[in-house]
Amino acid sequence: MSQVSAERIAAGYARVRELLLSQRVAAGHWVGELSTSALSTATAVMALEQVRRAAPCSTAIPSLPQFDELIARGLQWLVAHQNADGGWGDTTASFSNISTTMLCHAVFHATETVAEYPAAVAAAKDYVDRAGGVPALRRRYGRDKTFSIPILTHCALAGLVDWREVSSLPFELACIPHQFYKWVRLPVVSYALPALIAIGQCRFHHRPTRNPLLRMIRKAAIAPSLRLLQKIQPSTGGFLEAAPLTSFVTMSLASIGQAEHPVVQQGIRFLLDSVRPDGSWPIDTNLATWVTTLSINALGPDLPAEARDSLRDFVCRQQYRTVHPYTQAEPGGWAWTDLSGGVPDADDTPGALLAVMNLTSGNILNASPPPADLAASLRNGVRWLLDLQNGDGGWPTFCRGWGTLPFDRSAPDLTAHALRAISAWQGRGLTDHADLALLSRSQKAVAAGFRYLSKTQRHDGSWLPLWFGNQHHPDDENATYGTARVLAAYRDILRKQDSEYQRGLKWLLANQNDDGSWSGSKGLPSSVEETSLALEIVVSANPDSHAAQSALEWLLRRIEDGTVHQQSPIGFYFAKLWYSERLYPLCFATQAMRRAVGGQN
């Protein structure tokens, strides 16, 4: 094929750059918009229903007409967005799955509206039966009970599942010191402590253990674990700023006579505040910090000068400066949102570090000496990452060495992101004594990180990410995302001659679709997000190659015809809970096109 002209590449980049810049809010940063979720809507309606049931018996809970209206609108939204096969997916663009369909089906029974929506309920039941019901749900999550037990609890509250099907959760273990959590092998991941407490108490209430000693221990643990739950609830009321987790906590406590408890009242406030005008709920409030750092790093030196100071201030303000009350994470990290329900993690922290360095490159950081507060902010972020590194050399999401469940283990995409941030910090001309003291440790960490990436590269040359997938792949895998993210670390840290980089690049090239695009792997339906991520790597390797040119042609057509903004559900929020984000296509396309304009730079 003929080469794409430099003029067309420049025009395409200018167009997508302006589209991304236009998405800023009045304060100057980005907020984005997460996909609406049938799963969030079903769980929020269930939480409202459980509190509504308690209202006649309580003087503290008025029987609000608002509850009736929100429940009715939520059910109407679910009916309007049911898939043709009778099921529901996590987003309106997602395939039906057993988890979301069981939740949606149950909420019609809980609200006693089966007669009002007989066709929708019958179709949902048929889907659940065809999909395999409770055994299929358990197979979907395996040993990780983070999501299967909440779903079964939701269904038990609707009378569709016997409480014997709901495994007990050792909520009493929440009362032990936090540093011992990793030794007791909790059956849920680190960020699900609220579910452990609330759902554990709910199941104990509806089906107490027969063991008299354990029953006594759990009764004694009810009050202190509730005090802990109240202590770790964010000021917004939303655990992780997420409707599903907040709803599971709220419905569980409300169903056991705790509807007046402050945790429930705050949870309801969060749900009332986060409902959308159409009666649905999103998967999370927003990813403001994450999409802002993605946008900053995508634009790089092309970010308008007048926006830099306010953006740097915004990002720096989001750094945690005290011990996090939820995970007990030390100060220094960043979460995905500027709201109080966020938790610092190993993807948002590297993104924020890179953004701060991008915003001050060639300016403040090169001052002699650099401002102490900015140098300290970067140093604390790097130290936070180093403290999180696992013994295997990789980085987990939230908590070092917490356990063996997938979302608490090291992951290649997180590790690659951490390596990029630490190496960028190392390369900025350190002069501060405190920085120099950290340098040797960081060098050893980078070496261990690359050893981890070498060990986790698959035989075909690819890497799998943790928080992203592809719904068209039989195993929901997205090796394109994982491989592109890891190769970016090898590229940025000048290790393109390593055999791991060469094998990964070979896999990426072999899995390009015939039309120049990419998906999770070859032959699957493509997306702007995946094509942009792969193109950024391929154009860095050889901008004149057929692969780079055909991918540029594909992406430029999307930019020119106005479809570049079309989003795909490639994200996992947690436990295979799909989401899409409005800004992902623009962020990834902007970064790829900036690379294309600069060639191999």
Tokens of 361: 């490159």
439-477: burial string, b at 16+ Cβ within 10 Å, e else: eeebeebbebbbebbeebbeeebbbbbbbbbbbbeeebb
Integer-rounded Cα Rg, in Å, for the chain is 24
Instruction: Report pLDDT for 329.
Output: 86
For residue 68, name the pLDDT band (cuts at 50, 70, 90). Answer: very high
* pLDDT tens digit sequence for 305-328: 999 999 999 999 999 999 988 778
In our burial notation (b when 16+ CB lie closer than 10 A, e otherwise), range 114-130 reads eeebeebbebbbebbee
The pLDDT of residue 373: 86
User: How large a percentage of the chain has pLDDT more than 90?
Assistant: 83
Torsional sign, CA 427, 334, 409, 298? negative
pLDDT class of 371 with cuts at 50, 70, 90: low
Q: How confident is the model over 562-576, as a mean pLDDT?
A: 90
Average pLDDT, the chain: 92
Taking the C-alpha atoms of residue 79 and residue 73, their distance in angstroms, rounded to an integer, is: 10
Alpha-carbon torsion 149, 154, 155, 159, what sign?
Answer: positive
Question: Which of 164, 172, 162, 167 shows the shortest CA–CA distance to 215?
Answer: 172
pLDDT beyond 70 at 16: yes
Query: For 473-506, what is each residue's pLDDT tens digit?
Result: 999 999 999 999 999 999 999 999 999 999 999 9
Here the tokens at position 127 are 């889907």
Question: Higher confidence at residue 325 or residue 358?
Answer: 358
Q: Is 330 exposed, middle or buried (0-12, 13-18, 19+ CB in 10 A)?
A: middle
Handedness of CA 252, 256, 262, 264 (dihedral sign): positive
Average pLDDT over residues 588-601: 87
First to last CA, the chain: 24
Give the separation between CA 483 and CA 468, rounded to whole angstroms: 12
Average the pLDDT over 283-312 and give the result: 96
What number is the average pLDDT over the span 86-94? 96
Structure tokens at 485: 């993210």
For residues 541 and 496, is the Cβ–Cβ distance under 8 A?
Answer: yes
Q: 318-456: what CATH class?
A: mainly alpha
Instruction: Retrieve residue 155's tokens.
Output: 């269904």
Return the sign of the alpha-carbon dihedral for residues 512, 503, 409, 141: positive
Q: Please say if the pLDDT value at position 183 is more than 70.
A: no
Q: pLDDT by residue (tens digit) across 142-159?
A: 877 778 999 999 999 999
The average pLDDT across 352-380 equals 77
Report the distance separating Cα 592 and Cα 586, nearest Å. Answer: 10
33-51: pLDDT as tens digits: 999 999 999 999 999 999 9
Residue 270's H or E segment, with its range, is helix 262-274
Is the pLDDT at 300 greater than 80? The verdict is yes
Pairing of strands 578-579, 36-37: unpaired
> What is the rounded average pLDDT of the residues 7-12?
97
Q: For residue 398, report the phi and psi dihedrals to the nearest 5 degrees.
A: -115, -45
Is residue 189 predicted with pLDDT exceeding 60? no
% of the chain at pLDDT higher than 70: 92
pLDDT at 55 over 80: no
282 DSSP assignment: E
Confidence class for position 368, pLDDT limits 50, 70, 90: very low
Asked if residue 576 lies in contact with residue 469, where contact means CB atoms within 8 angstroms, the answer is yes
Mean pLDDT calculated for residue range 166-180: 82
pLDDT of residue 343: 93
Task: Classify domain 1-34+458-601 at the CATH topology level.
Answer: Glycosyltransferase (1.50.10)
Contact 81, 67 (CB under 8 A): no
Residue 591: is its pLDDT beyond 90? yes
| pLDDT at res. 94 | 95
Q: What is the mean pLDDT of residues 417-436?
A: 88
Judge whether 162 and 592 are in contact, CB under 8 Å: no
Residue 57: pLDDT band with limits 50, 70, 90: low
Please answer whether residues 485 and 530 qualify as being in contact, where contact means their C-beta atoms are separated by less than 8 angstroms: no
Sole residue written with tokens 């945690």: 320
Q: Residue count of the chain, please give it.
A: 601
Q: How many CB atoms lie within 10 A of CB 200?
A: 27
What is the sign of the dihedral through the CA atoms of 575, 580, 586 and 592?
positive
Instruction: Return the CATH number of the domain spanning residue range 37-282.
Output: 1.50.10.20
pLDDT at 429: 72
pLDDT at 105 over 80: yes
Measured distance CA(135)–CA(157) in Å, rounded: 18
pLDDT at 64 exceeding the cut of 80 = no
- pLDDT on residue 369: 47
pLDDT for residue 194 is more than 70: yes
* CATH 1.50.10.20 domain extents, the chain: 1-34+458-601, 37-282, 318-456
